[in-house]
Chain A
């Protein structure tokens, strides 16, 4: 079986699309939580092929986008310390913080290295014993386990110049916050695929149970998303609300136990700042006391100064699904991928970037 082309076959897609059209009677609004799904939806034009009864809204599931300015400011303050090497995933380089970006401080002489994994960051620390390597721990449950594993490795090897700035976030509390706010009425949720690979499908049960909202975990190919939409429509038309998996090749109900064990060993829940949502209880991950010597915030005395939000940017509202990029006065004029104002235009999985690159609203 081929895992990509098989899930992009137009004749199969046609069949699912016509089944959705036949089944869907009730007006419904679905949110795709994950930025990866947003990209699939725009890249393949999924909104264009769905019936008028279905409205799709994008959620906050882009780790770069939801990182609050205060956290980015801390990363930049760390980068400005001469003996610090910042190791980061490439996505973060261009994100504008209150006053600068990692890309800019790098051009000014800060030592900022793009890495592809925590293994590279660990190696950097070994190769530069006189320096301190700070890995920017950004990402959801997908990335947190590998960062946890890197700390366990550093601990075992006695590596004393490796730190992390934990900006990790976990997804279920954020969805709860969106549902509790009542700002957007949702009738179905496309649950994140990669996150669910780690945490499984059980953590989404509360949504179906407490809020009576159908949930389906989806993969990232166009057929995955169409299948997921069909399953959501079927639940609605059958008057059900339960959690289903449309991504069985990647997700088991119980998740990845080994990865979860690493996470639990190293991290504990804490309140976290989400761009656009403010502080969400238990939605962050901080280092447990036993591993606090790896915490960059405790190890270095940093003063990021006051935070500042770009004027006119509505990334926060877009992340909550309250507004779309087309509602933003800056979109496509002042704010473009070349000169981004807000993070949703920078990240490849951000809504603004997807709207801009794939020409949403364009009548072809």
Chain B
């Protein structure tokens, strides 16, 4: 049983210490963690951005990523969407007993690589082990703090009529890549999750124009949900053009098969930016020079009529409303 996580690993006793030392500290050690104190202590100065998120993705390994990488990138991205430079993260594991240690180690290694890439540090953490069936393999909860540079004011309520709406790349890659591996639904695809850290992209966008009005990453609920949130928060309408939205052929194909609309499928490495019309080209250029924004494109604009609504011009030139996702995406019958 040595190769599996047991309830005793979460007991706070010897096995728990062994788990922290051998599985976590070995990979993640830094001056904060090696102190073994109850909380991390550090100085911050300036405007602080603070976020939290939980990760329950099934399966925990998927094409293009895993739950650990997703947790770090997701938290870093939430901070970046406020314009903040991400600094410190907390990391809590809820592990279902029986999880192979090798899988946990693989995820911790992936977390280590992701923190290195995004230049953040895990400064505090926790582990709980629960009975079989009380969790699904592994859940991760994180929190993160970052500092917002002076002069940056990004919020979902800042969109104003005339602004341009920029999307950083193709939509639906993550959702379809994960679904393709799910039990009972596996289908073969070359598609990988777009799971990516967006901190550097945001930093370069802010360097091009510090006046960016809104930033948001369209994760669960997809592009549609994000645009609806922004339209409602800012009390404006957003008009987009269907033909401008980049979608991979594989994603379109899988969506047709399953009866999904790519506009509602999750992304983990994309962002939507709403910027002043005069800044749009500068920001777009900066985005396209970054690897994670190379397919960036202007998909529409902000208007004053129909506040709170998102309207899409279809490929036939007609207009329709696109509303938020209701419930979960369910595959269709015929």
Q: Do A and B bind each other?
A: yes
Which residues from chain A sit less than 8 Å from chain B, CB to CB? 2-5, 8-10, 13-14, 17, 36, 42-49, 63-64, 89-94, 114-116, 120, 138-140, 142-143, 194-195, 222, 226, 336-338, 348-349, 356-359, 362, 364
The reply to whether B321 and A362 form a contact with Cβ atoms under 8 Å apart is: yes
The reply to whether A357 and B333 form a contact with Cβ atoms under 8 Å apart is: no
Residue of B with least CB distance to A358: B320
The reply to whether A90 and B321 form a contact with Cβ atoms under 8 Å apart is: no
Residue of B with least CB distance to A13: B316
Q: Does B3 contact A (CB under 8 A)?
A: no
Interface centre among A5, A90, A194, A338 (most CB of B within 10 A): A90
Q: A33: shortest Cβ distance to chain B, in Å? A: 12
Q: Do A337 and B326 form a contact, CB below 8 Å, given A4-B253, A116-B185? A: yes
Q: Does B133 contact A (CB under 8 A)?
A: no
What B residues does A114 contact at CB under 8 A?
330
What A residues does B314 contact at CB under 8 A?
43-45, 222
- Which residues B316-331 have CB closer than 8 A to chain A? 316-323, 326-327, 330-331
* A94, B329: Cα distance in complex, Å: 12
The reply to whether A49 and B334 form a contact with Cβ atoms under 8 Å apart is: no
Q: Does B252 contact A (CB under 8 A)?
A: yes
* A10, B313: Cα distance in complex, Å: 11
Q: Does B80 contact A (CB under 8 A)?
A: no
Mask for B240-259, Cβ within 8 A of A = 1, else 0?
00010000010011001001
* A195, B334: Cα distance in complex, Å: 9
Q: Can you list 28 A-B contacts (CB < 8 A)?
A: A2-B249, A4-B249, A10-B317, A17-B316, A44-B314, A44-B316, A45-B318, A46-B318, A49-B316, A64-B333, A90-B331, A93-B330, A94-B327, A140-B334, A142-B334, A143-B334, A194-B334, A195-B334, A222-B316, A226-B316, A336-B326, A337-B327, A358-B322, A359-B320, A362-B311, A362-B320, A362-B321, A364-B306
- 8 closest cross-chain pairs (CB), A and B: A45-B318, A359-B321, A364-B319, A90-B330, A142-B334, A48-B318, A337-B326, A44-B314
* A222, B261: Cα distance in complex, Å: 14
* A5, B185: Cα distance in complex, Å: 24
Q: A229: shortest Cβ distance to chain B, in Å? A: 12
What B residues does A43 contact at CB under 8 A?
261, 314, 320
The reply to whether B320 and A45 form a contact with Cβ atoms under 8 Å apart is: yes
Q: Do A364 and B334 form a contact, CB below 8 Å, given A10-B316, A43-B314, A46-B316? A: no
* A356, B323: Cα distance in complex, Å: 9
Residue of A with least CB distance to B258: A116
Residue of B with least CB distance to A61: B334
Q: A91: shortest Cβ distance to chain B, in Å? A: 5
Q: Do A10 and B315 form a contact, CB below 8 Å, given A5-B249, A42-B320, A115-B184? A: yes
Q: B326: shortest Cβ distance to chain A, in Å? A: 4
A358 contact from B321, B333, B334, Cβ within 8 A: B321
What B residues does A93 contact at CB under 8 A?
330
What A residues does B322 contact at CB under 8 A?
358
What A residues does B331 contact at CB under 8 A?
89-91, 116
Which residues from chain B sit less than 8 Å from chain A, CB to CB? 184-185, 243, 249, 252-253, 256, 259, 261, 306, 311, 314-323, 326-327, 330-334
Q: B249: shortest Cβ distance to chain A, in Å? A: 6
Residue of A with least CB distance to B334: A142
* A8, B321: Cα distance in complex, Å: 19
* A45, B316: Cα distance in complex, Å: 7
* A45, B314: Cα distance in complex, Å: 7
The reply to whether A44 and B327 form a contact with Cβ atoms under 8 Å apart is: no
A139 contact from B243, B311, B319, B333, Cβ within 8 A: B333
* A89, B314: Cα distance in complex, Å: 30
Interface centre among B256, B318, B321, B327 (most CB of A within 10 A): B318
What A residues does B327 contact at CB under 8 A?
94, 337-338
What B residues does A3 contact at CB under 8 A?
253
Q: A276: shortest Cβ distance to chain B, in Å? A: 19
* A69, B318: Cα distance in complex, Å: 37
* A42, B321: Cα distance in complex, Å: 10
- Given A43-B314, A116-B185, A364-B311, 11 additional A-B pairs, CB 8 A: A46-B316, A49-B317, A90-B331, A90-B332, A116-B331, A139-B333, A139-B334, A226-B316, A337-B326, A358-B320, A359-B320
* A70, B100: Cα distance in complex, Å: 48
What A residues does B319 contact at CB under 8 A?
45, 48, 362, 364
What B residues does A116 contact at CB under 8 A?
184-185, 331
* A47, B319: Cα distance in complex, Å: 11
Residue of B with least CB distance to A337: B326
Q: B312: shortest Cβ distance to chain A, in Å? A: 9
The reply to whether A36 and B315 form a contact with Cβ atoms under 8 Å apart is: no
What A residues does B321 contact at CB under 8 A?
357-359, 362, 364
What B residues does A362 contact at CB under 8 A?
311, 319-321
Q: B24: shortest Cβ distance to chain A, in Å? A: 36
B333 contact from A47, A89, A120, A338, Cβ within 8 A: A89
* A206, B322: Cα distance in complex, Å: 40
Interface centre among B252, B331, B333 (most CB of A within 10 A): B333
* A134, B157: Cα distance in complex, Å: 50
The reply to whether A143 and B323 form a contact with Cβ atoms under 8 Å apart is: no
* A82, B252: Cα distance in complex, Å: 41
* A278, B144: Cα distance in complex, Å: 59
* A140, B334: Cα distance in complex, Å: 8
